[in-house]
A and B are shown apart, each in its own frame.
Chain A
Amino acid sequence: MTTWDLLISAWDWEPSVVVGCLALAIAWLILARPRLPRHTPLFFGGTLLLLLDLVSPIDVLAGKYLFSAHVVQHFLLAFLIPPLLLLGTPRALAKRALRYRAVTAIERILAKPAVAWPIGVVPMIAWHLPPLFNAALASEPLHIFQHLSFLVTGVIFWWPIAGPLTERRPSALGSIVYLFSACTACSILGAALTFTPLGAYPAYANIMDRSEIVRLIHTGWGLDPKSDQQLGGMLMWVPGCLVYLTAILATVARWYAAERLEASQ
């Protein structure tokens, strides 16, 4: 088996995922009527990424073969898809939702940085502790819950930074602290995964499966279980930081642009 074969064959069209993503897209189209706002590509990009993350070879590799693929899957769910979805949500839509008192009350609480930060960071760390991680691998319902929780807590975490209500965002310096501290937590998790002894995640340390995929991974890609786990940890550690860095730079860019606007007035 070659990498190409893997890429075209290893798809897992789980109906619930497809239906969920379609429902998300259709609901958005209905709510965003009558005309499509200019953020549309971001939202659909996020939805497409969500679909790919859960049905593509990433999912197949994550499910049985590669710890690192599983980390990538979680990483996309919590770090990349939520900000895309949020950036693609038009302001008017959020305003409309906030007309309901219950929604406003929930938003009031969850959008506080002191609340959103732990909601985003704690599950990220907790789900990667070996007992919880292995339990989720062993039980399908728990696994689905895990993925949903990444998505939901990710949206809550990114709401104050990338949410549509720009006037409610924390100050630029506050946002930098918010993102930098989250990045630190994430780097610590990544470093811990990298240096955790092999065997903490037994499902990947001794794969029983003798399929073609395993041979491809071991001989084709040269990834033994130890490198796989290190790669997983380091993907969380370094590229994870880059997402936060991008967000920090975007915040700073917006902040300086506002200064130019004030100066020119």
Chain B
Amino acid sequence: MSEAALPLPAAESRSAALDWLSTIDHKQIGILYMLLALFFFLVGGVEAMLMRAQLALPNLKFLAPEAYDQTFTMHGTTMIFLVVTPVLIGFSTYLVPLMIGARDLAFPRLNALGFWLQLAGSVLLYVSFAAGGAPDAGWFSYAPLSEKPYSAHAGLDYWALALLLLGTSTTLAAINFIVTIAALRAPGLTIRRLPLFVWMTLVNSGLIVFAMPALNAALVMLLMDRRLHAHFFDAAQGGAPLLWQHYFWIFGHPEVYILVLPGFGMISEIIPVFSRKPIFGYDFVAASTLAIAFLSYGVWVHHMFAVALGKVFLSVFAASSMLIAVPTGVKIFNWAATMVGGSIRFTTAMLFAIAFLLEFTIGGLSGVAFAIVPIDWQLTDTYFVVAHFHYVLFGGTAFALFAGAYYWFPKMSGRMLNETIGKWNFWMVVIGFNLTFFVQHILGLLGMPRRVYTYPNLPWWGALNAISTFGAVILGMGSLIFLVNLASSLIFGAKAGNDPWDAWTLEWATASPPPPENFENVPGVNSRRPLWDLKAGRTAGAPAARPWAARKPEPLFGMKLFVLSEAVFFFLLIVAYIYFRTTGMAAARSSLHLGESATLTACLVASSFTMWRASASGDLKRARLWIVATMTLGLIFLLGQGAEYWRLFQQKVTISQSLFGTTFFTLTGFHGLHLLVGIAALAVLLALTRLRGHQPIAVKVVGLYWQFIDLVWLVIFSIVYLGAWV
């Protein structure tokens, strides 16, 4: 495919800045994600250096204890939610359509919305510094430390709100990836032939759809406690601080894999290309990814071994936690076996990939050590934990990201990153990283607790901390060299050409950087190595190339995924209600009116019917009537609920008055909010039909959401209202 044959990017009169601000092109949005992450990588890095400076010697007074608390909380939150998550989404946003031969993601506007939500969330988190103080309860914000009496300034409110926005953004991106990969693949590119990076993005997106709502549920409960004086995590009023830990880790453990799986995917693309061999055991790599995703929901309790849960808990979850090491180990062997007998090119990308294998294995092994309960008891909340997860997230994910950056930068910019600077970048980062974090294993074994702002001058502590800080300086300089390489190569770098690495996946079949429409014609695929086939002329039996326009995304499928995610959110709120149910039964019976609520329920059931009629109706006028009827019924329900709330307030039943109030108002209130969103969506739909005529697919999509909200109400009604009298 010649470069000249492809149309040039549209030369328009708009300014470049406006072009980037208003873009819905997946490549531009992907790059925006990556730039945002790069900026916060610097910010998070500065926070890390501040902490290392404070800890360089015993008894330093460089940072006050309060400032130190804020620094480690912001460092963790920044690196996880503002750096690793967006950079991984950025890579997937950029690469998935190119790798599967699509023109863009299924929903380009949703993609843009996701990025701007990510930016808004990031800014919101940092506004906290100006609003009284940054969050200071650690990145997992354990209750009760995160409750109002222990952290009175607004930092944690910003933290929770920011994470809600970021979580929403990530979920939208995940839904977009799933629909894209399901619907927009090149002819002949079956799911079983997907590049492993795309496959892992797919599995990862599935994880996100189910895991993020658990965080969202925990966050809204925390916000209720902090802003409206509810009692979810308030032990004095019968609440349960442990509930936070459960909900947070239901999200938090899959999150660990969410942060590392795309890295696995990058490694699975890079090692074969630079070993000039197909990946060893594609099936095993793909299937073990599925096993990891599956198991990651069943091991969260191992983060809570130090909580007195009982020995049965400990044994069962220790076993399941050890089990999850198996599919991860399988992958390590596959990558190593791919290199065996290959003709390896030691480019910077490959060096980072090899370093990834070694460092991630160390992080994995120290992780398995934590599955052994007595070791966990000894080492939890020491620097051993800090060392462990930095080997996973820096030695694992960040090394994979460096490898990915060196590998794909030529595609994104059209220029090669400088290899000489790259080698400096590599060795400084590897040496600095291991100096910083390896000694922290020993500090942990010596008993140094994490999250303390200083320490006494105990034997070896000072020396080991000094080494760690020295390593951090080298690591920081190595990372700065990367930035220098990015900037200078963008201007002076050698031209890359379409396919500088002799790679095998479709993104290298188009120009570097790719034109706005990616491909003129999507090539047909008949193996897992489409580009090698093309180059070797092995195209017999491949489906004919065809223009991208032949395929349509499926909005209804996207809505189904969104509904699944929402279902998890409501499920956890309902579980919280049931969990505290025994304390609120009498209150429920004395304050709720069954008849009144049954009438409102009938309203909603009727609205399900009218909504169904609207979706089924082909005639615009009739569909509009049914939509208006649905909205009216929804409004009646909301007014009724408002009247019920008013009556309860009169009886002094409020969200802060008792646990019953806390759970009841949160659950029904969030349902009401969702219903309000449904009504708003229907209003938008009405306006849209006026402008553009009938939108049968849009009506079906909103209809599905509406039916879901009604179904949630039926569950709430049975548990809260009917359940109170059973």
Binding site for B on A (CB under 8 A): 173, 176, 180, 183, 187, 194-195, 197, 226-227, 230-231, 234-235, 237-238, 241-242, 245, 248-249, 252-253, 255-257, 259, 263
Residue pair A252, B313 in contact (C-beta under 8 Å)? no
Residue pair A180, B287 in contact (C-beta under 8 Å)? no
Cα–Cα distance between A257 and B282 once the two chains are bound (Å):
11
Residue pair A238, B298 in contact (C-beta under 8 Å)? yes
Provide the residues of chain A in CB contact with B680, threshold 8 Å.
none
Provide the residues of chain A in CB contact with B295, threshold 8 Å.
241, 245
Closest to B582 in A: A197
Residue pair B298, A187 in contact (C-beta under 8 Å)? yes
Q: Mark B277-292, 1 if CB is under 8 A from A, else 0.
A: 0000011001100110
Majority DSSP secondary structure for residues of B touching A: helix
Residue pair B192, A259 in contact (C-beta under 8 Å)? yes
What 6 new A-B contacts, CB under 8 Å, besides A241-B298, A249-B287, A256-B287?
A195-B579, A230-B310, A235-B316, A249-B291, A252-B283, A256-B192
Chain B, range 291-339, C-beta contacts under 8 Å to A: 291, 294-295, 297-298, 310-313, 316-317, 319-320, 323
Provide the residues of chain B in CB contact with A176, threshold 8 Å.
290
Known: A255-B192, A259-B192. A248 touches B290 (CB 8 A): yes
Top 8 closest pairs, chain A to chain B, by CB: A256-B283, A259-B192, A234-B316, A230-B312, A252-B287, A231-B312, A227-B312, A238-B320
Cα–Cα distance between A234 and B191 once the two chains are bound (Å):
34
| CB-defined A-B contacts under 8 Å, sample of 24 | A176-B290, A183-B294, A187-B297, A194-B313, A195-B579, A227-B311, A227-B312, A230-B312, A230-B313, A234-B313, A234-B316, A237-B298, A238-B298, A238-B317, A241-B295, A241-B298, A245-B291, A255-B192, A256-B192, A256-B283, A256-B286, A256-B287, A259-B192, A259-B193
Cα–Cα distance between A226 and B312 once the two chains are bound (Å):
10
Q: Indicate whether B591 reaches chain A with its CB closer than 8 angstroms.
A: no
Q: Please give the distance in Å from B506's CB to the nearest CB on chain A.
A: 18
Cα–Cα distance between A256 and B401 once the two chains are bound (Å):
29
Provide the residues of chain B in CB contact with A173, threshold 8 Å.
191
Q: Indicate whether B527 reaches chain A with its CB closer than 8 angstroms.
A: yes
Cα–Cα distance between A242 and B290 once the two chains are bound (Å):
13
Cα–Cα distance between A165 and B297 once the two chains are bound (Å):
32
Residue pair A253, B287 in contact (C-beta under 8 Å)? yes
Chain B, range 598-651, C-beta contacts under 8 Å to A: none
Closest to B319 in A: A238
Provide the residues of chain A in CB contact with B298, threshold 8 Å.
187, 237-238, 241
Q: Indicate whether B190 reaches chain A with its CB closer than 8 angstroms.
A: yes
Provide the residues of chain A in CB contact with B527, threshold 8 Å.
263
Cα–Cα distance between A238 and B323 once the two chains are bound (Å):
11
Cα–Cα distance between A227 and B283 once the two chains are bound (Å):
40
Provide the residues of chain B in CB contact with A234, threshold 8 Å.
312-313, 316-317
Provide the residues of chain A in CB contact with B313, threshold 8 Å.
194, 230, 234
Closest to A191 in B: B575
Closest to A259 in B: B192
Most buried by B among A197, A231, A235: A231
Known: A187-B297, A248-B294, A255-B192. A226 touches B287 (CB 8 A): no
Closest to A260 in B: B283
Provide the residues of chain A in CB contact with B282, threshold 8 Å.
256
Cα–Cα distance between A244 and B118 once the two chains are bound (Å):
36
Residue pair B310, A252 in contact (C-beta under 8 Å)? no
Q: Please give the distance in Å from A162's CB to the nearest CB on chain B.
A: 18
Which residue from A187, A197, A226, A259 sits with its C-beta under 8 Å from B190? A259
Cα–Cα distance between A242 and B323 once the two chains are bound (Å):
10
Q: Please give the distance in Å from A130's CB to the nearest CB on chain B.
A: 12
Most buried by A among B283, B286, B291, B316: B316
Chain B, range 548-597, C-beta contacts under 8 Å to A: 579, 582
Q: Please give the distance in Å from A13's CB to the nearest CB on chain B.
A: 31
User: What is the number of contacts between chain A and chain B, taking CB atoms within 8 Å?
Assistant: 60
Residue pair B191, A180 in contact (C-beta under 8 Å)? no
Provide the residues of chain B in CB contact with A237, threshold 8 Å.
298, 316
Known: A230-B310, A245-B295, A253-B287. A238 touches B316 (CB 8 A): yes
Cα–Cα distance between A197 and B578 once the two chains are bound (Å):
12
Provide the residues of chain B in CB contact with A255, threshold 8 Å.
192
Cα–Cα distance between A138 and B696 once the two chains are bound (Å):
56
Provide the residues of chain A in CB contact with B316, threshold 8 Å.
231, 234-235, 237-238
Provide the residues of chain A in CB contact with B311, threshold 8 Å.
227
Residue pair A226, B310 in contact (C-beta under 8 Å)? yes
Q: Please give the distance in Å from A180's CB to the nearest CB on chain B.
A: 7
Closest to A195 in B: B579
Q: Please give the distance in Å from B94's CB to the nearest CB on chain A.
A: 25
Residue pair B290, A252 in contact (C-beta under 8 Å)? yes
Provide the residues of chain B in CB contact with A227, threshold 8 Å.
310-312
Q: Please give the distance in Å from A199's CB to the nearest CB on chain B.
A: 11
Closest to A242 in B: B323
Residue pair A252, B312 in contact (C-beta under 8 Å)? no
Q: Please give the distance in Å from A57's CB to the nearest CB on chain B.
A: 20
Closest to B579 in A: A195
Provide the residues of chain A in CB contact with B291, threshold 8 Å.
245, 248-249
Closest to A223 in B: B312
Q: Please give the distance in Å from B683's CB to the nearest CB on chain A.
A: 34
Most buried by A among B190, B193, B283, B286: B283
Cα–Cα distance between A197 and B581 once the two chains are bound (Å):
12
Residue pair B283, A253 in contact (C-beta under 8 Å)? yes
Provide the residues of chain B in CB contact with A230, threshold 8 Å.
310, 312-313
Provide the residues of chain A in CB contact with B312, threshold 8 Å.
227, 230-231, 234
Cα–Cα distance between A230 and B287 once the two chains are bound (Å):
31
Cα–Cα distance between A206 and B108 once the two chains are bound (Å):
61
Cα–Cα distance between A230 and B315 once the two chains are bound (Å):
11
Provide the residues of chain A in CB contact with B286, threshold 8 Å.
252, 256
Cα–Cα distance between A252 and B319 once the two chains are bound (Å):
24
Chain B, range 163-212, C-beta contacts under 8 Å to A: 190-193
Known: A227-B310, A227-B312, A234-B312. A249 touches B290 (CB 8 A): yes
Cα–Cα distance between A252 and B284 once the two chains are bound (Å):
10
Closest to B297 in A: A187
Q: Please give the distance in Å from A215's CB to the nearest CB on chain B.
A: 20
Provide the residues of chain B in CB contact with A263, threshold 8 Å.
527
Residue pair A180, B190 in contact (C-beta under 8 Å)? no
Residue pair B310, A241 in contact (C-beta under 8 Å)? no
Residue pair B294, A180 in contact (C-beta under 8 Å)? yes
Provide the residues of chain B in CB contact with A238, threshold 8 Å.
298, 316-317, 319-320
Q: Please give the distance in Å from B534's CB to the nearest CB on chain A.
A: 17
Cα–Cα distance between A238 and B300 once the two chains are bound (Å):
12
Cα–Cα distance between A241 and B298 once the two chains are bound (Å):
8
Provide the residues of chain B in CB contact with A253, threshold 8 Å.
283, 287
Closest to B323 in A: A242
Provide the residues of chain A in CB contact with B310, threshold 8 Å.
226-227, 230
Cα–Cα distance between A249 and B330 once the two chains are bound (Å):
14
Provide the residues of chain B in CB contact with A187, threshold 8 Å.
297-298
Cα–Cα distance between A37 and B192 once the two chains are bound (Å):
32
Q: Please give the distance in Å from B303's CB to the nearest CB on chain A.
A: 16
Cα–Cα distance between A125 and B557 once the two chains are bound (Å):
29
Cα–Cα distance between A248 and B203 once the two chains are bound (Å):
14
Q: Please give the distance in Å from B239's CB to the nearest CB on chain A.
A: 16
Cα–Cα distance between A230 and B282 once the two chains are bound (Å):
39
Cα–Cα distance between A235 and B192 once the two chains are bound (Å):
33
Cα–Cα distance between A183 and B291 once the two chains are bound (Å):
13
Provide the residues of chain A in CB contact with B317, threshold 8 Å.
234, 238
Closest to A222 in B: B311
Provide the residues of chain A in CB contact with B294, threshold 8 Å.
180, 183, 241, 245, 248
Cα–Cα distance between A241 and B293 once the two chains are bound (Å):
12
Cα–Cα distance between A253 and B286 once the two chains are bound (Å):
10
Provide the residues of chain B in CB contact with A180, threshold 8 Å.
294
Q: Please give the distance in Å from A257's CB to the nearest CB on chain B.
A: 8
Cα–Cα distance between A227 and B312 once the two chains are bound (Å):
6
Provide the residues of chain B in CB contact with A248, threshold 8 Å.
290-291, 294
Closest to A234 in B: B316
Cα–Cα distance between A242 and B286 once the two chains are bound (Å):
18
Q: Please give the distance in Å from A23's CB to the nearest CB on chain B.
A: 37
